[in-house]
């Protein structure tokens, strides 16, 4: 009896040793675990939040719910727009909970903090919602991908395209802090490079209570375009006030440097009509995007914003890369993600560059009038497609240390 127990113990020990010798980290023995780090109750909750979680879930369901023979797990958390909370949550997910990739991360300050943790832990993070160029410029990482957009792309796309439509005379209304000033500077540079002229710029305080005086200056400028270079509640307030002044319905049009589908819905077409904007994707673009959006809307109550569509497509591409690499090892999966073409209903001609930026074609859109809209969320006329290479800085000018000059 004693000898048989010793023999069984020895065999079990040998089996364990053999298993450890022939298994490698990141193989099918490890499950894929995806963490959606988002805003569940704050200012961007409608545009990200629950919708981002469901977008990731739909991508997992499309993959059959498994990767490398293991069930895919999904966790989510609210960073509350605080870098300390976001970075702490990312660290716990990587160190304790076995998360293999983090996605979404609205708020640029939180995203940069999470980028630092992911670089330290050698784990992947796919940024759908933050727009700061630092993620793929000065603070780029071999483990980070800026998936959906940059502020550079949106301002450049709208200014370039609208000037080329014959709108040469511009006035800029911008928020008086770094974000707004950068949008104003980028917009000015593009307008002038295309033969246009910025006849005036006015800066408003963050969370301004009244935009009347600023918009009266803009209206008096006799510009063809008033560029709204701010975000969130300030954008909504500025466009609402512009509608009260009749701006956007006559010779003067609005161009929003950052505007989301949920913002337009909140404003209503009566106020937002005729506003120009650049979008990385639109739910009503093609049959495949409409099919996905129908499933998404059944769960969330509205079609996906381009941030939520970005979560879906980033998770979908990640899972394809995991299968192709045969591992969840971050470096191997990142290499496959860059090698594989990005193929989903919301991405036009997309690829991942050496700096971690996804370059994609985008759409110049104009908000429909109430008479043009045929159904709820039928919000945009697509004016034209903007080539992705027009929306990204040349790699020869990159500040990313990963790029060989």
Question: What's the confidence (pLDDT) of residue 22?
Answer: 39
- Are 102 and 186 in a shared domain? no
The reported pLDDT for the residue numbered 405 is 58
pLDDT tens digits for range 202-244: 999 988 889 999 999 999 999 999 999 988 788 899 999 999 9
Residues 262 and 170 in one domain: yes
Tell whether 313 and 381 lie within a shared domain.
no
- Residue where a domain stops, chosen among 356, 374, 398: 356
11 sits in which H/E element: helix 2-22
Residue 82 in any domain: the answer is: yes
Residues 279 and 363 sit within 8 Å (Cβ to Cβ): yes
Rounded CA separation 385/371 (Å): 24
Query: For the purposes of burial, counting CB atoms within 10 Å of the CB of 323, is it exposed (0-12), middle (13-18) or buried (19 or more)?
Result: middle
290 and 242 within one domain? no
Extended strands (E) in 183-238: 197-204, 225-229
Where do the DSSP E strands lie in 58-123?
66-67, 70-71, 73-78, 101-104
Q: Does residue 92 share a domain with residue 229? A: no
Whether residue 293 is found in the same domain as residue 222 = no
pLDDT digit string, tens, across residues 304-338: 999 999 999 999 999 999 999 999 999 999 999 99
Element (H, E) at 60: helix 49-62
Per DSSP, the residues of 346-397 read T-EEEEE-TTSBEEEEEEEEEEPPTTT--STT--EEEEEEE-GGGGS--GGG
Any domain includes 325: yes
Q: Please indicate, yes or no, if residue 164 is contained in any of the structural domains.
A: yes
35: Cα separation from own chain's centroid? 16
- Segment 174-194 shows an average pLDDT of 88
Number of independent structural domains in the chain: 2
Instruction: Reply yes or no on whether the pLDDT at 18 is more than 80.
Output: no
Residues 144, 212: one domain?
A: no
Q: What is the CATH number of the domain that holds 58?
A: 3.40.50.2300
Residue 274 and residue 382 in one domain? yes
Residues 239 and 374 in one domain: yes
Is 88 among the domain residues?
Answer: yes
Q: Predicted confidence band at 29 (pLDDT cuts at 50, 70, 90)?
A: low
Does residue 1 carry a pLDDT above 80? no
Report the alpha-carbon distance of residue 131 to residue 134 in Å, rounded: 9
- How does residue 26 score in pLDDT terms, banded at 50, 70 and 90? very low
Model confidence, pTM: 0.87
Measured CA to CA, the distance from residue 227 to residue 211 in angstroms comes to 14
Q: Are residues 68 and 121 in the same domain?
A: yes
As a whole number of angstroms, the distance between CA 243 and CA 249 comes to 8
Pairing status of strand 348-352 against strand 33-38: unpaired
Residue 16 forms part of a structural domain:
no
Tens of pLDDT, residues 236-272: 999 999 999 999 878 899 999 989 999 999 999 999 9
Specify if 194 maps to a domain. yes
Burial 152-175 (b: 16+ CB within 10 A, else e): bbbbbbbbbbbbebebbbbbbbbb
156 plus 269 within the same structural domain: yes
pLDDT reported for residue 400:
97
Q: What is the pLDDT of residues 56-80, one digit of tens each?
A: 999 999 999 999 999 999 999 999 9
183: confidence class by pLDDT, cuts 50, 70, 90: confident
The pLDDT, as a whole number, for residue 2 is 38
Per 3-state DSSP, the chain is made up of helix, strand and coil in percentages (nearest 5) of: 45, 20, 35
Q: What is the Cβ-side half-sphere exposure of residue 138, based on CA atoms within 13 angstroms?
A: 3
The average confidence (pLDDT) of the chain is 91
Sorting pLDDT into bands at 50, 70 and 90, what band is 30? confident
Residues 144, 41, single domain; the answer is yes
* Residue 199 maps to a domain: yes
Task: Answer whether residue 106 is part of any domain.
Answer: yes
Domain that holds residue 371: 152-279+362-387
CA distance 134 to 152: 11
């Amino acid at each position: 009896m004693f000898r048989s127990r010793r023999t069984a113990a020895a065999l079990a020990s040998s089996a364990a040793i053999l298993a450890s010798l022939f298994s490698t980290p990141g193989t099918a023995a490890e499950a894929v675990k995806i963490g959606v780090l988002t805003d569940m109750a704050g200012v961007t909750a409608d545009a990200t939040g629950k919708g981002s979680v469901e977008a990731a879930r739909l991508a997992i369901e499309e993959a059959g719910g498994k990767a490398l023979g293991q069930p895919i797990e999904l966790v989510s958390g609210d960073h509350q727009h605080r870098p300390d909370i976001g970075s702490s949550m990312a660290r716990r997910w990587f160190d304790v909970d076995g998360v293999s990739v983090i996605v979404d991360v609205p708020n640029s300050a939180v995203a940069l903090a999470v980028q630092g943790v992911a670089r330290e832990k050698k784990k992947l993070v796919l940024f759908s919602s933050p727009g700061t160029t630092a993620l793929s410029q000065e603070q780029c990482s071999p483990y980070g991908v800026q998936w959906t957009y940059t502020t550079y792309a949106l301002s450049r796309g709208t200014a370039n395209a609208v000037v080329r439509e014959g709108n040469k005379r511009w006035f800029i209304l911008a928020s008086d802090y770094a974000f707004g000033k950068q949008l104003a500077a980028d917009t000015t540079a593009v307008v002038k490079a295309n033969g246009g002229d910025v006849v005036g710029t006015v800066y408003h305080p963050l969370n301004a209570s009244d935009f009347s005086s600023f918009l009266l200056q803009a209206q008096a400028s006799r510009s063809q375009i008033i560029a709204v270079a701010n975000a969130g509640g300030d954008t909504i307030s500025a466009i609402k006030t512009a509608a009260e002044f009749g701006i956007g319905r006559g010779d003067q049009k609005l161009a929003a440097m950052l505007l989301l589908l949920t913002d337009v819905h909140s404003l209503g077409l009566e106020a937002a009509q005729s506003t120009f904007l650049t979008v990385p994707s639109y739910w009503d673009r093609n049959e495949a995007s409409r099919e996905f959006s129908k499933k998404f809307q059944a769960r969330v109550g509205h079609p996906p914003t381009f941030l939520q569509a970005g979560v879906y497509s980033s998770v979908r591409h990640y899972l394809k890369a995991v299968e192709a690499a045969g591992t969840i090892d971050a470096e191997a999966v990142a290499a496959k993600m860059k090698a594989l073409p990005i193929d989903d209903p919301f991405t036009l001609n997309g690829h991942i560059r050496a700096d971690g930026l996804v370059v994609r074609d985008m759409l110049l859109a104009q908000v429909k009038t109430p008479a043009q809209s045929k159904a709820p969320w039928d919000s945009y006329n697509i004016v034209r497609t903007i080539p992705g290479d027009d929306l990204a800085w040349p790699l020869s000018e990159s500040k990313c240390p990963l790029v060989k000059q």
